[in-house]
């Protein structure tokens, strides 16, 4: 879900003073603002883990670039180099196309919590009908990022979460981000529009090692506001990726459907800002940072329907950046 106003995102790099607090009293969630190398404000619990939903995609993209820096793959290579033989209409799909939502794959193949294995997801993806020729058009695809997660596993020989934990989260100091590997102490319960609990994310149908494959790699990651700040700081140095790979992570490769906006690798880019949001039936989150690393905003709620954030989010974020 793309709820973040493009015009508001462009203001991230202009934030220079302590934030106002535009979120209503009793807001269910957490709001963190960082300036430079410090947290300027954190309202709510900085150490409660929430489902960050599609913000997960930037971790998958970083994992692919990490494998490339390790000499294990090349983003310009066709996916058949890593998945084996593919149908004729998929032979021109490169890893780069999956990263930029230009592979022509459909948005998804089923419900997030449907018990789909990796092999079944890949069979569905490779057997699906393309919505556009590879490389021709931007079509946002959760499925494409699940295929990327499968490539991470096949190339690295590790499970998707284990690769991220070892090569991204540990170097960044992120001990409270993952699916099942962290020792969770505080995880937010999610609520529907009537205020009924739907449980914690991992209390939905999951496999033993995390979400099933309609969700894995494209969403479902749990993290805290403090860990998202650590991720933001890691992206300003070489702890996770060298400078060249970080530059590619934020290169605006292809226009999206939003005016003036482009998609990079797991990030939307507008002028000098990068952002991504996420949403499901219960929660919503948004993460934005200036490309120079000088400002960052992250907020998340486990009662998205209560606050009607699709209507209010731009005003809320603007208040934080004043």
Reported as a pLDDT band with limits 50, 70 and 90, residue 307 is: low
**Residue 321: Cβ within 10 Å count:** 21
**Exposed, middle or buried by CB within 10 Å (0-12, 13-18, 19+), for 220?**
buried
Q: Which domains does the chain have, with CATH numbers?
A: 6-321 (3.40.710.10)
Reported as a pLDDT band with limits 50, 70 and 90, residue 28 is: confident
Task: For residue 306, give the H/E element and its range.
Answer: helix 304-307
In this prediction, residue 304 carries a pLDDT of: 72
- What pTM, to 2 d.p., does this model score? 0.91
Q: Which residues of 229-243 are buried (b: 16+ CB within 10 A; e: fewer)?
A: bbbbbbbeeeebbee
Asked whether residue 265 carries a pLDDT value surpassing 80, the answer given is yes
In this prediction, residue 270 carries a pLDDT of: 87
Q: What is the pLDDT of residues 78-137, one digit of tens each?
A: 999 999 999 999 999 999 999 999 999 999 999 999 999 999 999 999 999 999 999 999
Share of the chain above pLDDT 90, in %: 75
Asked whether residue 227 carries a pLDDT value surpassing 90, the answer given is yes
- Quick check: 76 and 95 in contact, CB under 8 A? yes
**Exposed, middle or buried by CB within 10 Å (0-12, 13-18, 19+), for 259?**
exposed
The residue-averaged pLDDT of 238-245 equals: 97
User: Which residue has tokens 């329907």?
Assistant: 305
Residues 50, 52, 53, 58: what is their CA dihedral angle, to the nearest 10 degrees?
A: -150
Q: Is the four-CA dihedral 245, 250, 256, 260 of positive or negative sign?
A: negative
Q: Is 44 left (phi over 0), alpha (psi -120 to 50) or beta?
A: left
Rounded (to 5) percent helix, strand, coil in the chain = 35, 20, 50
Least confident among 13-22, 52-61, 71-80, 152-161: 13-22
């Amino acid at each position: 879900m793309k709820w973040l106003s493009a015009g508001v995102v462009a203001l991230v790099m202009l934030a220079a003073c302590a934030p106002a607090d535009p979120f209503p009293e009793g807001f269910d969630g957490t709001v963190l603002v960082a300036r430079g190398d410090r947290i300027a404000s954190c309202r709510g619990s900085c150490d409660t883990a929430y489902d960050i939903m599609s913000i997960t995609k930037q971790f998958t993209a970083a994992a692919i670039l990490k494998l490339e820096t390790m000499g294990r793959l090349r983003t310009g290579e066709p996916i058949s180099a890593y998945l084996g033989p593919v149908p004729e209409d998929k032979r021109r799909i490169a890893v780069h196309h999956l990263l930029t939502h230009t592979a022509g794959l459909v948005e998804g193949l089923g419900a997030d919590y449907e018990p789909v294995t990796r092999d079944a997801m890949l069979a569905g993806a490779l057997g699906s009908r393309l919505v556009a020729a590879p490389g021709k058009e931007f079509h946002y695809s959760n499925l494409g990022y699940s295929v990327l997660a499968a490539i991470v596993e096949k190339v690295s020989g590790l499970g998707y979460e284990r690769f991220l934990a070892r090569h991204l989260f540990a170097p960044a100091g992120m001990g409270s981000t993952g699916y099942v590997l962290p020792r969770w102490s505080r995880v937010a319960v999610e609520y529907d529009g009537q205020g009924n609990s739907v449980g914690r994310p991992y209390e939905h149908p999951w496999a033993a090692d995390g979400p099933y494959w309609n969700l894995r790699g494209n969403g479902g990651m749990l993290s805290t506001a403090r860990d998202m700040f650590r991720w933001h700081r890691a992206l300003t140095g070489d702890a996770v990726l060298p400078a060249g790979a970080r530059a590619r992570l934020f290169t605006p490769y292809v226009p999206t459907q939003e005016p003036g906006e482009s998609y990079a690798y797991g990030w939307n880019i507008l002028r000098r800002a990068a952002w991504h949001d996420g949403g499901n039936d219960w929660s919503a989150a948004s993460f934005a940072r200036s490309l120079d690393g000088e400002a960052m905003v992250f907020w998340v709620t486990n009662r998205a329907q209560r606050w009607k954030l699709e209507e209010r989010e731009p005003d809320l974020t603007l208040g934080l950046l004043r």
